[in-house]
Amino acid sequence: MSDFLSQYKRTHTCGELRASNVGQRVTLCGWVQNYRDHGGAIFIDLRDRYGITQLKFDPTVDEAAHQQADRLRSEWVVGVCGTVVSRGENVNPKMATGEIEVLGELLEIFNPSLTPPFEIGDAPSANDNLRLEFRYLDLRRRPLQENLILRSRMNKLTRDYFDSQGFLEIETPILMKTTPEGARDYLVPSRVNPGQFYALPQSPQTLKQILMIAGYDRYFQIARCFRDEDLRADRQPEFTQIDLEMSFVNQNDVFEVLEGLMKAIVEPVTGQPVVTPFPRLTYREAIERYGSDKPDTRFGMELGSLTDILAESQLKVFADVVGSGGVIKAMNVKKGAEFSRSQLDKLTDFVKIYGAKGLAWIKINAEGWQAPIVKFFSDAEKAAIGERLGLEVGDLVLIVADQYRIAHESMGQLRAHLGKTLELADPNRYDLLWVVDFPLFDEADGKLNAMHHPFCNPNPADFELLFSDPGKVRAQGYDMVMNGNELGSGSIRCHRQDIQRRIFELLGIGEEEAEQKFGFFLRALQHGTPPHAGFAVGMDRLVMLLAGATSLRDVIAFPKTQKATDLMMQTPSRPDATQLTELKIRVTQ
RNA sequence: GGGGUGGUAGUUAAGUUGGUUAUAACGCCGGCCUGUCACGUCGGAGGGCGCGGGUUCAAGUCCCGUCCACCCCGCCA
């Protein structure tokens, strides 16, 4: 190991030298981005996370340094001492440091590099496989560095904001307790308690509520969470939440704090204004108008209901759907009459993914309505449809008739899909809104599941329904939505033990099970629980949206593949037999 | 568990209806070159087509299976 670094301190980064530095003697460190050997002069583009500076090695300036420079190849790490000189006529206006170059007088090769398997450029130059295997090389790319820099900045903005609002940052354990419902847990065996396991937290939910009971009335944490479920572009098994909980507050108080948080993060990062308070939509309204509980409100194209108009339709499929309690939802795609038959077929295939049996369409042409189904419509029906959807020549009507849930979901997905492909949303806009009044329960196969989580307070107005018609109970739960993405959710917590027990009962969690799984929590609730409420923001998604990325992998330093593996460290992997023996675990496969 | 897309030199891609020694660009190696910044220029090396079967006189090209990556459905309180 050379003593270069004890003799020469790095004086500047590769992104900061300007014309005003000409004449200074500087020391830079970085990676060789590119080299151009002219036989005499050798030009090296030296890169670090701050930028790129051109080095010039001239044999008439320093023979030894020039000979060293002749050996340099892509991604070698070097330190260089030299003088900042003007490039004179040869300024490169494309580079921030393009007015100057550093005339190399002493070159230290810290380390050579193997030839990189792919080019370290702005655009990804290899498939995901290879990029993930050589993550450290992919992370050298400018766009990924910018994303991680943005993320770091957002972490600081978050901490500063909560600090300014009197919140305490409190860490909760990673080794937690398995939970009875929700996602699958990641389990960690306990060596000193053979046969027993910890679970990694799906969220710090119970502990942050216990912190309220303990009197820490304003808590936040940038918390790592773990869920063993299948992945998506916007879902990693290990992710980060901006988690918070507050005592003695109502829903509006929570909203105010979060609106302030979003303002504090989004405005400096995007330069776009965040208007507060955010608009509010009830869950039901969101579903009926947008077919989604996380609508993108940057564009219109809202869903309309044709159920009443077509209840008696000559078209048997429509009338039958209405007769059996279903609904008919429609959407007016402006200028959509130009869609080709094959495009419409693709849209039909699209809604089928979500369970719709088909997609009807009508083109509004100058000569009249064009569609296979038009002949079944009376003039009165056509007039009513035209008025309901605001139809004009050139429009395209898309219709799904199905059960309530399928009709709304498939049309909602279709609306989002068309919004993307037709570029209906302004990419520079950040539409934040609250979706409120979620149902407390989700009914599937006659069984009730918690829509949010089992500690969510029922709307006090609906307490009676907990005993008469639990499926209709509204929760004091709310989601934050931005540009069609669920950014987070929260609720007023249930702080009455009798209500909490009734909820467990309805969820099919028996006394004994509740005691075993949540006993600690139910006991805590009896020791002076303040009314409290909280929220959690999906940090990774927020970074992704503000970075303009389309995958969480682009905002997480070391992400997992869709099969939840890490191709760089090659995990998961089999433990040593001795480890398993110590843990008293036998692997059966 | 299911649907879709992709896998061909180090990399990115092309490869006609199955048919002589599998193309290109970038990268890599060597020579020349003192104003390049996608440097230029001359020369060179490098793969048998993800893997395993099968059909055929003949298979990147067709069939079956399998692995990996990505997107989606289910799943994700």
Question: Separation of CA A412 and C1' B39 in angstroms?
Answer: 53
Asked if strand B contacts A449 at the CB level, meaning under 7 A, the answer is yes
Is a pLDDT exceeding 60 seen at residue A534?
yes
Q: Which of residues 451-480 of A touch strand B (CB under 7 A)?
A: 451-454
Q: What is the DSSP string of A48-115?
A: ETTEEEEEEE-TTT-HHHHHHHHH--TT-EEEEEEEEEE-GGG--TTSTTTTEEEEEEEEEEEE--PP
CA distance A514 to A502: 11
Q: Which of residues 328-347 of A touch strand B (CB under 7 A)?
A: none
pLDDT tens-digit profile of A5-43? 999 999 999 999 999 999 999 999 999 999 999 999 999
Question: Separation of CA A97 and C1' B27 in angstroms?
Answer: 27
Burial class (CB in 10 A: 0-12, 13-18, 19+), A539: buried
Is a pLDDT exceeding 60 seen at residue A82?
yes
Give the ipTM of the model, two decimals please: 0.94
pLDDT tens-digit profile of A420-457? 999 999 999 999 999 999 999 987 767 888 888 889 99
Arithmetic mean of pLDDT, A575-587: 94
Which of A223, A225, A128 minimizes the C-alpha distance to A566?
A128
What is the Cα A262 distance to its own chain's centre? 15
CA distance A451 to A357: 26
Is a pLDDT exceeding 60 seen at residue A295?
yes
Question: Separation of CA A120 and C1' B34 in angstroms?
Answer: 28
Q: Residue A455: which nucleotide is closest by CA–C1'? A: B77
Asked if strand B contacts A2 at the CB level, meaning under 7 A, the answer is no
Is a pLDDT exceeding 70 seen at residue A1?
no
Arithmetic mean of pLDDT, A561-583: 95
Question: Separation of CA A78 and C1' B46 in angstroms?
Answer: 29
> Which residues are bridge partners to A239 per DSSP?
A225
Q: What residue type is assigned to position A62 of the chain?
A: D
Q: Residue A350: which nucleotide is closest by CA–C1'? A: B72
pLDDT tens-digit profile of A473-528? 999 999 999 999 999 999 999 988 888 889 988 988 888 888 888 889 989 999 99
Which residues fall within 8 angstroms of residue A332, CB to CB, at 6 or more apart?
A: A301, A304, A389, A390, A391, A395, A396, A397
Q: Which of residues 90-149 of A touch strand B (CB under 7 A)?
A: 90-92, 94-95, 98, 101, 115, 117-119, 125-130, 132
User: A475, A458 in Cβ contact below 8 A?
Assistant: yes
Asked if strand B contacts A485 at the CB level, meaning under 7 A, the answer is no
Give residue A359's pLDDT band: very low, low, confident or very high (50, 70, 90): very high
Question: Separation of CA A526 and C1' B49 in angstroms?
Answer: 69
CA-CA-CA-CA torsion sign (A118, A124, A125, A127): positive
Q: Which of residues 556-585 of A touch strand B (CB under 7 A)?
A: 561-563, 565, 567
Which of A300, A252, A292 minimizes the C-alpha distance to A276?
A252
Burial class (CB in 10 A: 0-12, 13-18, 19+), A131: buried
Q: Which of residues 65-94 of A touch strand B (CB under 7 A)?
A: 73-74, 87-92, 94
- Percent of chain A beyond pLDDT 90? 89
Question: Separation of CA A353 and C1' B73 in angstroms?
Answer: 7
Burial class (CB in 10 A: 0-12, 13-18, 19+), A357: middle
pLDDT of residue A2: 67
Arithmetic mean of pLDDT, A123-138: 93
pLDDT of residue A449: 86
Tokens of A459: 């709307």
> Which residues are bridge partners to A79 per DSSP?
A29, A108
pLDDT of residue A514: 83
Question: Separation of CA A190 and C1' B34 in angstroms?
Answer: 68
Secondary structure of residue A28 in the 3-state scheme: strand
CA distance A112 to A429: 45
Q: Which of residues 206-235 of A touch strand B (CB under 7 A)?
A: 227, 229-235
Question: Separation of CA A69 and C1' B34 in angstroms?
Answer: 14
Is a pLDDT exceeding 80 seen at residue A150?
yes
Which of A110, A92, A87, A113 minimizes the C-alpha distance to A28?
A110
Peptide bond into A277 cis (omega under 30): yes
Asked if strand B contacts A527 at the CB level, meaning under 7 A, the answer is no
Question: Separation of CA A127 and C1' B15 in angstroms?
Answer: 20
Question: Separation of CA A344 and C1' B16 in angstroms?
Answer: 31
Asked if strand B contacts A18 at the CB level, meaning under 7 A, the answer is no
Question: Separation of CA A74 and C1' B26 in angstroms?
Answer: 14
Asked if strand B contacts A400 at the CB level, meaning under 7 A, the answer is no
Question: Separation of CA A32 and C1' B30 in angstroms?
Answer: 21
Is a pLDDT exceeding 80 seen at residue A181?
no
H helix runs in A365-510, sequence order: 379-389, 404-421, 465-468, 497-506
**pTM (two decimals):** 0.95
CA distance A236 to A228: 9
CA distance A71 to A69: 5
Q: Residue A86: which nucleotide is closest by CA–C1'? A: B35
Asked if strand B contacts A43 at the CB level, meaning under 7 A, the answer is yes
Tokens of A57: 């090695």
Q: Which residue is nearest to nucleotide B32 (CA to C1')?
A: A39
User: What mean pLDDT, rounded, does chain A reach?
Assistant: 95
Arithmetic mean of pLDDT, A315-330: 95
Q: Residue A561: which nucleotide is closest by CA–C1'? A: B69
Give residue A542's pLDDT band: very low, low, confident or very high (50, 70, 90): very high
Angle at A161 between CA A158 and CA A162, to 5 degrees: 85
pLDDT of residue A452: 86
Question: Separation of CA A71 and C1' B32 in angstroms?
Answer: 17
Q: Which nucleotides of B are covered by protein (CB under 7 A)?
A: 1, 6, 10-13, 26-29, 32-40, 68-77
